[in-house]
Amino acid sequence: MRLHGAFAGERGTVLVIALLVIALLIGAGAAAIVSVQTDLKTSANLSAGTRAFYIAEAGLSHAVNELRNRDAAAGFDRVLGMSAGALIVSNANFAGGTYQVTRLKSASRPSRIQALAVGTAPNQASSEIEAWLRKEAGRPPRTAMTNGELKISGDPQLVGLCGGAQANDDMLISGNPAAQMALGFSVANADGASGLLPEGMNITGSPCIGSAGCFRPPGERPSDYTLDAADKRSLYEAASYSRPFEIPTINPADYAKHIGSLGEAGGGTLLHADGRVTAGPGVICDAGGFCAGGVAVPRPPGWSYASGVWTVAGGAPLRDGIFYAETKVEISGAIGSAGVPWQATIVARDSIRISGDIYLRPYPTPFEPLQNQLLVTGNDLEIDANFRADYAGGALLAHQQVKIGGSGKITGFILAGDGRPTWPGDPFPDSSSGLALNEISGSPTIEFSCDFGCFGPGCPAYRVAIVGWQQKF
């Protein structure tokens, strides 16, 4: 009975304990609810912030694509000249949000733009990305790129990581040419029309493709890379197709205004179809490549004019510079030396023909649109000489066809448009006035490792790279 007495004085204790437990459970539940609500809110904010970041990133990608288009209102060069805060691109409805990309500041050598991309999510959460964008010179994927048919014969050597050739039309290979790049010879056969060569890739010789060992004498080349049997040639022909490469518009008139604006002090000279010579600002050129304006200057040493052709012959001192001719240009004789090459960039409205012992390198101008370009022609380019142009990378650009023979050495790349793209007023829209097809023959050595490019009007499209970025908080 003492047990009953002990509990008698503790009546209501169980109820109190139960109430305390219930209170604790209610408190814990409330805390859990608050915690869950906080987590949900945090998750929602994180989701919105992440969404805003991706929207800002999409805006930055849009800006890069616009900057790559040299003809767009937001092309790189145009934006480079704008003031801070200028709008590059915007979108008022992207995945329910918005973005805006503006120019902050710029730098030169190399040309760079700092841009700010602001993305806003549907719940007004925002994210900012600050990035430096760099303009990079355009370059082709192989040494020689042609819109038209390409015939390769003899023992030419296409050296370098990008040593190779591609025709957007048909290709015929004979002899023992060598290309260092894997799939060094390829075709796109983009037009499908019949021409002077059999359709597609046709190999009748024993080319060596894909190894630095290909540049040994033909009898010492690695067998695994040499197409010295019919079955090897057939397999390669079947696998030799590549995507077409877009050859740019190669219009020498687009260069003339730049060359004229340099003046004599900057090395620029215009050689007219009537024998006159001008330089200086104020040059205006029509679509056909004839120019007016500028100031009359003396004829540059070593140049002569007769019967509608500007000529350079060996034996006379030459002035370095960048020359635009409204006519054909012919260069012959012994010019320059291995130690002292002639520093010249030559642009011709019509064809350029080179023969003799010529040592040539691109004129070292600080003017970006004219850098790293050696020869530019509105018609054909023909080189048949002991031509040495292996001092610095230089582009060889022809609106029509290219023919390279002899035993020269060139460091650079070759583009041949086969008259495409054309333009209103194009004086040479087809090949009836010159070479019928592109040809590389003899034993020239042409080196290209995709290690340089150019920004000129006839160069491949430049690229815009993101070289650094950070998210702003």
pLDDT of res. 207: 97
Residue 147 CB coordination number (10 Å): 26
pLDDT of res. 109: 79
Q: Are residues 360 and 212 in the same domain?
A: no
pLDDT of res. 57: 96
- Highest average pLDDT, of 9-13, 278-282, 341-345, 381-385, comes from 341-345
Indicate whether 194 belongs to any domain: yes
Mean pLDDT, range 427-455, rounded to an integer: 92
pLDDT digits (tens, 9 = 90+) for 31-57: 667 666 665 555 555 577 888 999 999
Last residue of a domain, one of 238, 263, 297: 238
Q: Are residues 159 and 122 in the same domain?
A: no
pLDDT of res. 43: 53
pLDDT of res. 110: 82
Q: Are residues 58 and 91 in the same domain?
A: yes
Indicate whether 246 belongs to any domain: no
- Give the chain's mean pLDDT: 91
Q: What are phi and psi of 256, to 5 degrees?
A: -60, -40
**Comparison of pLDDT for 209 and 392, the residue scoring more:** 209
Strands 284-285, 208-209: parallel, antiparallel or unpaired by DSSP? unpaired
71 — pLDDT class (breaks 50, 70, 90) = confident
pTM value is 0.85
The boundaries of the domain holding residue 325 are 253-454
Closest to 380 (Cα-Cα) out of 421, 433, 327, 422? 433
Torsion sign over Cα 104, 106, 111, 112: negative
pLDDT of res. 9: 59
Q: Are residues 399 and 301 in the same domain?
A: yes
Number of separate domains in the chain? 3
Indicate whether 245 belongs to any domain: no
Q: Are residues 110 and 172 in the same domain?
A: no
Q: What is the three-class DSSP state of 7?
A: helix
**Comparison of pLDDT for 257 and 303, the residue scoring more:** 303
Mean pLDDT lowest among 1-15, 63-77, 345-359, 459-473: 1-15
Residue 281 has pLDDT above 90, yes or no: no
Mean pLDDT, range 353-364, rounded to an integer: 96
CA 287 to chain centre: 24
Residue 1 has pLDDT above 50, yes or no: no
Q: Are residues 104 and 165 in the same domain?
A: no
Indicate whether 368 belongs to any domain: yes
pLDDT of res. 10: 62
434 — pLDDT class (breaks 50, 70, 90) = confident
Contact between 392 and 362 (Cβ < 8 Å): yes
Q: Are residues 314 and 419 in the same domain?
A: yes
pLDDT digits (tens, 9 = 90+) for 9-20: 566 777 778 778
Q: How far is residue 229's CA from residue 205's CA, in Å, rounded to a whole number?
A: 9
Q: Are residues 203 and 257 in the same domain?
A: no
Mean pLDDT, range 222-242, rounded to an integer: 95
Q: How far apart are the first and last CA of the chain?
A: 75
Residue 74 structure tokens: 């937001």
Name residues whose C-beta falls within 8 Å of residue 202's C-beta, 6 or more positions apart in sequence: 170, 171, 172, 173, 237
pLDDT of res. 190: 55
Q: Are residues 259 and 398 in the same domain?
A: yes
Q: Are residues 350 and 446 in the same domain?
A: yes
Q: Are residues 159 and 103 in the same domain?
A: no
Contact between 396 and 375 (Cβ < 8 Å): yes
Indicate whether 243 belongs to any domain: no
Indicate whether 248 belongs to any domain: no
Residue 408 has pLDDT above 80, yes or no: yes
Contact between 302 and 318 (Cβ < 8 Å): yes
Indicate whether 9 belongs to any domain: yes
Q: Are residues 125 and 202 in the same domain?
A: no
Q: What is the three-class DSSP state of 245?
A: coil
